[in-house]
Structure 1
Amino acid sequence: MAKALPGFEDFNRRVRPPFGSRLKQPAREPVLLTPSGRAEFSAAEPPDVPSADDGVLVLQTMRSHDQWNTAIYSDDDRYRGVKNLRTPILMNAEDTRARGIGESALVDIESTSEDGTRRRLRGYRALRYDLPRGSAAGYMPEMNVLIGAADYSAQSDQPLMKNVRVRVVPSAQG
């Protein structure tokens, strides 16, 4: 390792003290490799927000408390007070009322991918949550089906997991 990786010179001797040694980590050092030598920020234009009148919500997918990446360790989410449920959609209370959706009612969720395909989830639980009007949230990977291969950010080339336009209606399942 000493021959191949910068920072590992004389490694075997340096790791012997009781607390080991510290490797250099550029993110931790107060040196910024920018033309000015200081932090430089830029702002991206925010995405278009749908009008509340057209019935579309902007859905973000997220992880629950007991989840690491896509490994799910329990169906509880103590961050948001959700117990024994992996299929909620968190919505603003006014948005649920405007759609005739009661608390904990079953709903169907539909998105339309940039490639024109319609994608659906059926029988999710609508939970009222303190979110801005016009937005919603739910867990990944369960909601990933709403995101098509064509749905990615032109700026970052990443899937639009925080900007999925959906329609939520009372479920046909009752």
Structure 2
Amino acid sequence: MIAQTIPGYEKIGEIDETKAEFTIDGRIFHKPEFATPTGKAQMFVTPIPKLTLPSLDEFGLPSTTKGIVLVLGTGRSYAQHNTVVYKQGDYYRGMPHRNCILMNAMDARSANFHEHQRVTVLGNVGKLEQVEIIYGQIRQGSALMFYPEVNVIFSAPIDDRCGTPAFKRVPVAIYH
């Protein structure tokens, strides 16, 4: 059906018989010529949006709360295929179990946290408690937790154009 529907994919219709790899027609450019009136590529600048994070009080926490707001990305462990978990830890990232948050050490210290401390991670619809902080190679201002477990704490906004949930940039409050 793909071969009959999508221009350039005709060769996929015979791949079971031929076993031949193929490229999609018209996708590889050997000369810098494009199908435009000038023959040149048409480029445009996409402005980078100014992204901000909410404050701890915007999460409804008391002003006396000690913590930090970070951008949470969700990810799989190395021993996970989609939502099937084969091992509890992720040895590549040094995360010993699935109830932990990978943080940059400087972020943790700025909030007076220490490695292996247990904290609460609050999203826009729920929280996980007793989450262990693990220091790791992650960009300052960001953190990582495993899905699907962490998905219960937030309702990710859906992009208007593509319909994809924003599971890679979710603000969370981390506090004790």
TM-score (norm 2): 0.68
Q: Match for 1:30 among 16, 28, 31?
A: 28
Match of 1:48 among 42, 48, 51: 51
**What is the percentage of aligned positions where both structures have the same residue?**
27
Q: Distance in 2 between matches of 1:50 and 1:65?
A: 29
Relative to 1, partners in 2 of residues 1:30 and 1:119: Cα closer, same or farther, differing over 3 Å?
same
Pick the aligned partner of 1:134 from 130, 135, 141: 141
Q: Equivalent residue for 2:175?
A: 169
| Within-5 A mapping of 1:141-160 | 141-148=148-155, 151-160=157-166
- After alignment, is 127-136 or 30-39 more displaced? 30-39
User: Could you tell me how far apart the structure 1 residues matched to 2:25 and 2:89 are?
Assistant: 34
Normalised TM-score (structure 1): 0.69
Which ranges of structure 1 fall in alignment gaps of 5 or more residues? 113-117
Cα displacement string for residues 73-119 of structure 1 (whole angstroms, at most 9, x for unaligned residues): 11232321223x0111011212222323221111111112xxxxx31
Is contact 2:54–2:171 with CA below 8 Å preserved after alignment?
A: no
Please state whether the residue corresponding to 1:26 is helix, strand or coil: coil
Rounded to whole Å, the distance in 2 between the matches of 1:10 and 1:134 is: 49
Q: Which moved more, 1:94-103 or 1:135-144?
A: 94-103
Determine helix, strand or coil for the equivalent of 2:91: coil
1:7 aligned counterpart, secondary structure: helix
Q: Give the structure 2 partner of residue 87 of structure 1.
A: 99
Unaligned runs of 5+ residues in structure 2 are: 58-67
Matched residue, 2:11: 7
The Cα RMSD (Å) is: 3.6
Cα distance, 1:33–1:125 mapped onto 2, change above 3 Å: farther
